[in-house]
Chains A and B, each alone.
Chain A
Amino acid sequence: NAGVTQTPKFRILKIGQSMTLQCTQDMNHNYMYWYRQDPGMGLKLIYYSVGAGITDKGEVPNGYNVSRSTTEDFPLRLELAAPSQTSVYFCASSSGSWKDTQYFGPGTRLTVL
C-alpha cells in the first residue's frame, strides 16, 4: 500500500512551458485535492475532486487545470508556466466520510525561471 504518490519530485520549467504533475492513490479514496505551498506559508487549495468526473475550484485555481477520469489518478496541468507558480505542490486524498482525514503525498518542488 503506497498511499499517495507524486511524480516528478523536482522540476524546473521555463516561462511559458507546460507540464502535468501526476498524483496517484491506492486507497480507493473518492476525494482528492491539490495544494500549493509557497515558502514560509501554509497550504493553499488549488482544485479538488469528490469522485471520478467531478472537479471543483479551490482558493487559487488560476493558471491550473485538472481532470479525474479514474478514482486513482488526479493530474494537475500547468499550461503556461509563470514565475508565480514556483512552489511546492502537494496532492492529498481522503475517504470523504464524517471522520475523514487527508493523506498527503511527498510533494513536487517546481521552479519556473
Chain B
Amino acid sequence: DAKTTQPPSMDCAEGRAANLPCNHSTISGNEYVYWYRQIHSQGPQYIIHGLKNNETNEMASLIITEDRKSSTLILPHATLRDTAVYYCIVRFTSGTYKYIFGTGTRLKVLA
C-alpha cells in the first residue's frame, strides 16, 4: 500500500476554510484516497474518498491532483467541532481493503 505524508499540525480560524494537504507520491492507479478524522479519543469517522475525480459531500470536498500524487481535504466553513486528527489513507480498490494509518494532521480550529 502507498504511504502518505501529512503535516503534523495546522490551525484554522473558525468560519474559514480548512485545507488539509496529503502527499501520496507512490500511489498506484487502483488505489483510492480516503480521509477519516478522529475527535478526541473516539473511533475514527469516515469523511470522504475518491479515485481520480474531485468529490464533495455534506462534510467536505476532496481535491485530487491530475497526477494523483497529492490531494487536499477542504472543510469549507470550519467550526470548533472540527478540531480533530485527520488521517489521509490510500488503499486498493479490491482485495482485503486494509488501511494503513499514518500519524495524521492535528487540526485545531480557533475561536
A and B physically associate: yes
Are A42 and B103 in contact, with the CB atoms below 8 A? yes
Q: Which of B46-67 contact A (CB under 8 A)?
A: 46, 49
Cβ proximity bits B91-107 to A, threshold 8 Å, 1 near / 0 not = 00110111111111000
Q: A48-B96, A56-B96, A105-B43 are in contact. Are A42 and B101 (CB under 8 A)?
A: yes
> Which residues on B sit within 8 Å (CB–CB) of A41?
103
Cβ proximity bits A16-55 to B, threshold 8 Å, 1 near / 0 not = 0000000000000001010100001111110010100000
- Which range holds the interface residue count of chain A? 20 to 34
**Contact residue among A4, A56, A103, A107 (Cβ-Cβ distance under 8 Å from B41):** A107
Are B42 and A106 in contact, with the CB atoms below 8 A? yes
Taking the closest CB of chain A, its distance from the CB of B39, in whole angstroms, is 11
Are B103 and A103 in contact, with the CB atoms below 8 A? no
Minimum CB distance partner of A56 in chain B: B96
Main secondary structure on chain B at its contact with chain A? Answer: loop
How far apart sit A92 and B102, CA to CA, in the bound complex (Å)? 17
> Which residues on B sit within 8 Å (CB–CB) of A100?
97
> Which residues on B sit within 8 Å (CB–CB) of A98?
93-94
Taking the closest CB of chain A, its distance from the CB of B53, in whole angstroms, is 13
> Which residues on A sit within 8 Å (CB–CB) of B99?
43, 45, 102
**10 pairs of residues in contact across A and B, judged by CB atoms under 8 Å:** A4-B43, A40-B103, A41-B103, A42-B103, A43-B101, A58-B98, A98-B93, A99-B49, A102-B44, A105-B43
